[in-house]
A and B are shown apart, each in its own frame.
Chain A
């Protein structure tokens, strides 16, 4: 049986299990139809031209792994920002782990989507937000919607500043063979509220795992959302991330994506600007080796006047790794005075590494500033010579240049502990110890 058929056949039992309390039953059955019609995306689609999921669809994945086994804190400490106090929503093989989590309802909600989907007091909220910004015509999103039942649910009330960052951590133990996980996160940041969120997916041992994740973020007027995605998973893990962000007037949302590992990673990152004076920031560092593959597919939809968007993605590719960047900027006719900036710079360290980069600008307004640039190059040999002539060995010199190259993205990380951690991840990846924190 093909995996697609399994996904379709499983639904009836799943629906029965959820029962009548399920508040998104209608959305699910619609989404199932969409997925049935579209199936998995193939390279024939323009949007998936450079990324094939074929190699992932050969396995028979367990859809609802049972998480019986407790995970020792020490075993997974590295996946957390353990040096500082944070709220935590932690899942093991898709199931919430109360032991590892640190949730709250005290002044803000940092809790579980399963609760929000089943408890009557959240019904209005779910009706308002759930599935309202996610693209219902996109097959992977539809597949997630069909089976969505767990993930983080975060609500920050008006004018509340979350005093510590929130970590959303999805762990995969590998104890039950190949697993297909579909976390669903819903984040609502009300008027003038502020929050910092770090999201990470991590396997605990080598095993086939595919995570098809959907996150919806709503930033109300004057809200400030600072979101970080850490993608440093094992070579047996793949991630299809679908993030949809709706922004109201005067809100600022930034998403940093650090893609350092995993087999195939696809980041569908979509910003919709629904008011004036909105600021959207999309930044990323992609640092790949061996046969890793990362595809950034971004969309910024400027639908109102006087808004800004800033995109800055840096990629460094070794061995046979592959990077893809497709950045679409859509400026509606009424979105005058839009200021949209897009930059994608890539360094290729080996002959066999590959990068495909494509800006896609669709501008219907006449008074806008849109700039874009993409480069693919090699490390500057003159700069390398300069560093080595100061006694710095080649490997360390290359690492320093990598830091320098990625610095624009690193310097805007607002959580110092996280910045340090990312610095360390980069140093590990490059096999150096520079002996200082940048």
Chain B
């Protein structure tokens, strides 16, 4: 589904990604771990099409198609979803109106009519109950005054509504207490099908107790320096990142 080869990316002439190779197939869950500043968030931004970053080498294929030149909205229409570490506040635009706009933009891109209001409402009800979101929350301004947990839950709600092929969860666990973490993880697991894939980006192993990865990759200095199964995450939790750094240095 997603094939990244020898990907180099920079921002303001500073190289952040230095040759990433990653292959994600439908039905898989990949975890990308690594110390702060290793390039985790950059990788997710680059996949989602953030124009602040320049790809200097390598390729990103999604569904066999080169997405290098595609805008963020085109990538979204193709089925890529990024759950943000720091979702942006949009005062005056309710959660409901925002998701309607997003969903209908997606349908328009696919040459479809706007979703009928009743169907939209039904879908919103269904997906919000999955994440334990009440209706009052839906009429609030997007992310404005939301707690950390509410913001992340709202990200997963948007993901549930948009039904992406590839979901990238960027530090979705940061700022969440254990109860919120469980709700978010349950939501992600419930949305999993054999046809979609998930990339979980995290600093800590904790989230991976709830969202079980098929593969774990360690990112360091803009490169994947080690890949393994969920056992690797446990090892990192126990030993920290220093041994990886040493291994790379040695």
Does A386 contact B87, Cβ atoms closer than 8 Å?
yes
Determine whether A391 belongs to the interface, using a CB cutoff of 8 Å to chain B: yes
Which residues of chain B are near A25, meaning CB under 8 Å? Answer: none
Does A438 contact B93, Cβ atoms closer than 8 Å?
yes
Does A392 contact B101, Cβ atoms closer than 8 Å?
yes
Determine whether A422 belongs to the interface, using a CB cutoff of 8 Å to chain B: no
Interface centre among A389, A396, A404 (most CB of B within 10 A): A389
Q: Which residue of B52, B84, B101, B106 contacts A386 across the interface (Cβ within 8 Å)? A: B84
Determine whether B76 belongs to the interface, using a CB cutoff of 8 Å to chain A: yes
Cα–Cα distance between A404 and B51 once the two chains are bound (Å): 22
Q: Which residue of A381, A389, A396, A401 contacts B101 across the interface (Cβ within 8 Å)? A: A396
Which residues of chain A from 360 to 415 have a CB within 8 Å of any chain B CB? 380-383, 385-394, 396-397, 400-401, 403-404, 406-408, 410-411
Cα–Cα distance between A386 and B73 once the two chains are bound (Å): 10
Does A385 contact B51, Cβ atoms closer than 8 Å?
yes
Cα–Cα distance between A435 and B49 once the two chains are bound (Å): 26
Determine whether A76 belongs to the interface, using a CB cutoff of 8 Å to chain B: no
Which residues of chain B from 50 to 65 have a CB within 8 Å of any chain A CB? 50-52
Determine whether A57 belongs to the interface, using a CB cutoff of 8 Å to chain B: no
Question: In the complex where A381-B52, A435-B100, A435-B114 touch, is A389 in contact with B90 (Cβ < 8 A)?
Answer: no
Q: Which residue of A380, A388, A410 contacts B72 across the interface (Cβ within 8 Å)? A: A388
Does A403 contact B88, Cβ atoms closer than 8 Å?
no
Does A403 contact B92, Cβ atoms closer than 8 Å?
yes
Which residues of chain B from 90 to 105 have a CB within 8 Å of any chain A CB? 90-93, 97-98, 100-105
Which residues of chain A are near B75, meaning CB under 8 Å? Answer: 389
Determine whether B207 belongs to the interface, using a CB cutoff of 8 Å to chain A: no
Q: Give the size category of A's interface with B.
A: 20 to 34
Determine whether B135 belongs to the interface, using a CB cutoff of 8 Å to chain A: no
Interface centre among B51, B88, B141 (most CB of A within 10 A): B88
Cα–Cα distance between A383 and B93 once the two chains are bound (Å): 13
Does A391 contact B73, Cβ atoms closer than 8 Å?
yes
Does B104 contact A408, Cβ atoms closer than 8 Å?
no
Does A383 contact B92, Cβ atoms closer than 8 Å?
no
Which residues of chain B are near A390, meaning CB under 8 Å? Answer: 76, 98, 102, 105, 158, 162
- 22 residue pairs from A and B, CB less than 8 Å apart: A385-B48, A385-B51, A385-B72, A387-B88, A389-B48, A389-B75, A390-B98, A390-B158, A391-B77, A391-B102, A391-B105, A391-B106, A391-B109, A393-B105, A394-B73, A397-B73, A400-B101, A404-B89, A404-B91, A404-B92, A407-B92, A435-B101
Q: Which residues of B contact A (CB under 8 A)?
A: 45, 48-52, 71-73, 75-77, 81-82, 84, 86-93, 97-98, 100-106, 109, 114, 141, 158, 162
Top 10 closest A-B pairs, CB basis? A407-B92, A391-B76, A388-B72, A390-B102, A383-B88, A386-B88, A391-B106, A404-B90, A407-B91, A391-B105
Besides A392-B73, A392-B101, 6 new A-B residue pairs in contact (Cβ under 8 A), listed by A number: A381-B52, A385-B50, A389-B73, A391-B162, A400-B101, A438-B93
